[in-house]
Chains A and B, each alone.
Chain A
Amino acid sequence: MTQAPERYMGNGIPRKEDPNLVTGKANWTDNIKLPGMVHMSMLRSPFARAKVTKLDVSAALERPGVVAAFAGADLAEDWPGGVPCAAVVTEEQKTPFFPPVVTDEVRHVGDVVAVVLASDRYAAQDALEFIEVDYEPLPAVVNMEAALEEGSPLVHEDLGTNECFTYTANVGNTDELFDRTDDPGDAGAEIRGPEVQGQGDTDEAFRRANVVIKERYIQQRLLPTAIEPRAVVAHPDPGHGGFVVYSSTQVPHLAKIVLSLATGIPENQIRVIAPDVGGGFGSKLNIYREEILAIVLAKRLGTPVKYVEDRSENYQATIHGRGQIQDIELAADSDGKILGMRVKLLDDMGAYLQLLTPVIAISGAAMFPGVYTFDAFSIEIKGVFTNLTPTDAYRGAGRPEACYAIERAMDSLARELDMDPAEIRRRNFYEPFDEPTQNPAGLMYDSFNLQAALDRAIELADYQSLREEQRRRREANDPVQLGIGFATYTEICGLGPSHALAGLGIGGGGWEVASVRMLVTGKVEVATGTSPHGQGHETSWSQIAADVLGVTPDDVEVLHGDTGTVPFGRDTYGSRSLAVGGIAVYHAANKVVEKGKKIAAHMLEAAEDDIEFEGGKFSVAGSP
């Protein structure tokens, strides 16, 4: 064991993950080959909405290499839970049944109507063309506002509406604030706020709310597009019974639970392994119909089943990000000080709810006030079903959308008041603080020094010179004009056990697990419940354990992504891994040291309090 330098944490070291990745030895899910393995292909709907009037797989069954083919009706009993959604955001939320293969109606392009299993992917793909299917196309709805109109086609007729939920939150009284602003003749209501509190003159407060900004922003859908397409292999375990499921997923632990809920296969008969995973960006923070199908069909056929999506399937049937219509209103006084904000969102669910679909916009709801202090805030979010691919978590998941809206609205307010966009922000910043402080939506911020950060950014960018340059180009009618944009941002992420997480109603406690094992030869095993897919946890967690235990990162082996070796965990998403999982590694490693002190005290015949630990060695204080 070599002498450790001061600290590995905070100092860059070459990544431990790289050698396999740069030499082509990584273990991607699509690499897995098992005896008897069959390949699964999907027949997907080309229509956004249609009745399936005829479906016959018998000709496909005759094709070379085909092992089995199923319509939805053949399999319906295999998934009592359908594809589950873990988020319940209001008591009235409507959660439609989401069958992995439909039985009657397709609800988005890419919805699955039949499945074929064959000896290889070419044979499976060929056989799809021999499935006889007839569709009766139905009117589809792809626009959220149209979906909410009387008489709109319904994505789920049994629900009687396209409205999934309506979530509201109010802090202060924005309605009265805005109503009063629109019609200055009405009697005022009290506005709570630093500028007006205790003054007792509400009329004056309303007179100061003399600028109102009303904007509509469209957050278009995005395709997450992890470079590795989704892939799954479900393997009936010949040794222990049950199933081993290999999946290109961010969430092996959640997958184990959800696959059990969806299929009725007991959770203790499912082991999920996430091998090397080629990116996720939220799109692999989900449990998909193809994963459910793979395990269900592996069970039926008693043989391993593999599915690898192609890129066009990735765009049709892997979740999309964003998809919001944002109506935002700001009320401000003539100095540009915000008095209140009102937000109305339409949030596109798509045709079904995936794991967290309804909670995405809500997780960003409290971030609309951004880094600006004011008191009156209200938000209404309507989740809307459309005949489109389901949406779910993508990069920031709700918060970047909120940031986009408030920052554009701030620019609009600056234009309205003919004020510099930096100045409008400065006027609404919190004064610097380092004690937890509540934002207008009720969320606690731990510390801010916004003015200093903005001053520094302006200095680094040489803002005044850029403005000069911009003016010069405008006056010269230069074909290349210069645009200057501002965005100030704070982030909610790394959620651990907290009121905020509980408030989102996603049925998870946000904890994380780490086990640190000191092996007899001086090597260390770190088992983590986080599940990296490009983040470099093997390196980072090794650095943490090495520093605490006085070994080198190469002495540490990080085990992850396997519910067999790490039975509990909450996986990787929302920038939580270091904040929660890395801290767990740190605490667990310190517990090893504390245990070691007891043993060292015994062996060195000294009091436990006199035992010191440094550089990987225990000694008695004063006599190293």
Chain B
Amino acid sequence: MRRIQVNVNGVAYEHEVEPRLLLVHYLREGLNLTGTMVGCNTSNCGACTVLMDGESVKSCTLFAVQADGHEITTVQGLQTNGDWHPMQTAFHENHALQCGYCTPGMILASVSFLKENPNPNEEDIREALEGNYCRCTGYENIVKAVQQAAGQTS
């Protein structure tokens, strides 16, 4: 067992964990933050995407111990004083989700991407989200949502 200190969604946690415990299981089962889901167990699908120090990572292939000393943001930490993050609003307004299982990962990957590239074109967005799968095939509207959040469309 190893002791870790992690700040998740603005709350400081300290836990003893097995070194092999995956970050996604630490979040889901240790902290009951079930907004982050497992889709593929192999970093392919992106359903488990969270932010580590503001940058998107795939929590199904990171160990919880690798998050020691870092800040993690999940979809449940995106709201400010109860108001949705502009990316959450954009996904809702553009019908950028169907079953919604990929959505938290999709939103966090998009938030991380816009920090790197605040004015992306469509191609940039599609390339940035290549690590996040939507099996309901709603990519058109996902791209529109990211464009809206980037202030590119009204």
* Chain A residues with a Cβ under 8 A of chain B: 12, 14-15, 17-26, 28, 30-31, 120-122, 225-229, 276-279, 281, 308, 310-312, 533-536
Give the contact stretch, choosing among B39-47, B51-59, B61-69, B117-125: B39-47
Given A15-B95, A30-B37, A311-B42, also A21-B103 (CB < 8 A): yes
The answer for the CA separation of A225 and B107 in the assembled complex, in Å, is 21
Check A23–B35 contact: CB distance below 8 A.
yes
Which A residues lie within 8 Å of B98 (CB)? 279, 534-536
Check B100–A22 contact: CB distance below 8 A.
yes
Given A14-B92, A226-B135, also A21-B100 (CB < 8 A): yes
Q: Which of B28, B79, B100 is the one whose CB lies under 8 Å from A18?
A: B100
Query: Quick one: CB contact mask for B19-37 with A, threshold 8 Å, 1 for yes?
Result: 0110001001100011111
Q: Which of A24, A31, A122 is the one whose CB lies under 8 Å from B74?
A: A24
Check A311–B91 contact: CB distance below 8 A.
no
The answer for the CA separation of A17 and B92 in the assembled complex, in Å, is 9
The answer for the CA separation of A20 and B101 in the assembled complex, in Å, is 11
Given A14-B93, A22-B84, A279-B135, also A229-B38 (CB < 8 A): yes
Q: Which of A15, A24, A277 is the one whose CB lies under 8 Å from B92?
A: A15
Which B residues lie within 8 Å of A277 (CB)? 99
Which B residues lie within 8 Å of A30 (CB)? 28, 34, 37-38
Cross-chain pairs A/B with CB under 8 angstroms, 13 sampled: A14-B92, A21-B97, A22-B92, A22-B104, A24-B75, A227-B101, A227-B133, A279-B99, A279-B101, A310-B38, A311-B39, A534-B100, A536-B98
Which B residues lie within 8 Å of A24 (CB)? 33-36, 74-76, 104
Residue of A nearest to B92 (CB): A18
Residue of B nearest to A314 (CB): B40
Check B135–A227 contact: CB distance below 8 A.
yes
The answer for the CA separation of A311 and B34 in the assembled complex, in Å, is 19
Which B residues lie within 8 Å of A121 (CB)? 25
Chain B 92-116 interface residues, beta-carbon cutoff 8 Å to A: 92-93, 95, 97-104, 107
Contact of B18 with A by CB under 8 A: yes
Q: A226-B135, A227-B135, A534-B136 are in contact. List 9 more A-B contacts (CB 8 A).
A: A12-B95, A14-B93, A30-B28, A122-B20, A226-B99, A227-B99, A228-B39, A278-B100, A279-B101
The answer for the CA separation of A12 and B39 in the assembled complex, in Å, is 30
Residue of B nearest to A308 (CB): B38
Give the distance to chain B from A355, nearest Cβ to Cβ, in Å: 21
Check B84–A23 contact: CB distance below 8 A.
yes
Which A residues lie within 8 Å of B133 (CB)? 227
Residue of B nearest to A313 (CB): B41
Residues of B in contact (CB 8 Å), total 42
Contact of B88 with A by CB under 8 A: yes
Check B100–A17 contact: CB distance below 8 A.
yes
Given A225-B135, A311-B42, also A23-B79 (CB < 8 A): yes
Contact of B143 with A by CB under 8 A: no
Most A CB atoms within 10 A — which of B21, B76, B95, B100?
B100
Which B residues lie within 8 Å of A228 (CB)? 37, 39, 99, 101
The answer for the CA separation of A550 and B45 in the assembled complex, in Å, is 43
Which B residues lie within 8 Å of A21 (CB)? 97, 100, 103
| Top 7 closest pairs, chain A to chain B, by CB | A24-B35, A534-B99, A278-B101, A21-B100, A24-B75, A534-B98, A31-B34
Given A227-B47, A227-B135, also A18-B36 (CB < 8 A): no
The answer for the CA separation of A22 and B42 in the assembled complex, in Å, is 23
Check A278–B95 contact: CB distance below 8 A.
no
Residue of A nearest to B101 (CB): A278
Residue of B nearest to A279 (CB): B99
Residue of A nearest to B99 (CB): A534
Most A CB atoms within 10 A — which of B33, B40, B74?
B40
Contact of B6 with A by CB under 8 A: no
Contact of B134 with A by CB under 8 A: yes
Give the distance to chain A from B51, nearest Cβ to Cβ, in Å: 13
Check A26–B100 contact: CB distance below 8 A.
yes
The answer for the CA separation of A311 and B133 in the assembled complex, in Å, is 14
Give the distance to chain B from A31, nearest Cβ to Cβ, in Å: 4
Check B136–A279 contact: CB distance below 8 A.
yes
Most A CB atoms within 10 A — which of B18, B35, B74, B101?
B101
Which A residues lie within 8 Å of B41 (CB)? 310-312
Which B residues lie within 8 Å of A23 (CB)? 35, 75-76, 78-79, 84, 88
The answer for the CA separation of A120 and B22 in the assembled complex, in Å, is 13
